[in-house]
Amino acid sequence: MLGKLIVELIIGALSGCAASKIMGTESRGLLKNIILGVGGGLVGGYLGNLIGLGGGWVTGILLSIGGACLIIWLCRKLAR
């Protein structure tokens, strides 16, 4: 169980970092990337389930990155 949590945090950090690079934002730090990636995983997973996507590591990582990009975009729109 602890191993799965560590793997999920690592994937979250990588997803958050990738989303930051895709969206052209500055480096946010490890903790913020983990939070962004995990939040992106929740958003991406929820939206993926709504449209029938799911299953597999690759799909999960891509949905996590997409969800994190969506969170960054929404934060930019709300900050204006």
Q: Does residue 57 contact residue 5 with C-beta atoms inside 8 Å?
A: no
Q: What is the pTM of this model?
A: 0.85
Q: Where are the domains of the chain?
A: 2-79
Give the model's pLDDT for residue 8.
Answer: 82
Write out pLDDT tens, residues 30-61.
888 888 888 988 888 888 888 888 777 888 88
Rounded to whole angstroms, the maximal C-alpha distance in the chain is 41
Whole-angstrom distance, CA of residue 21 vs CA of residue 30: 14
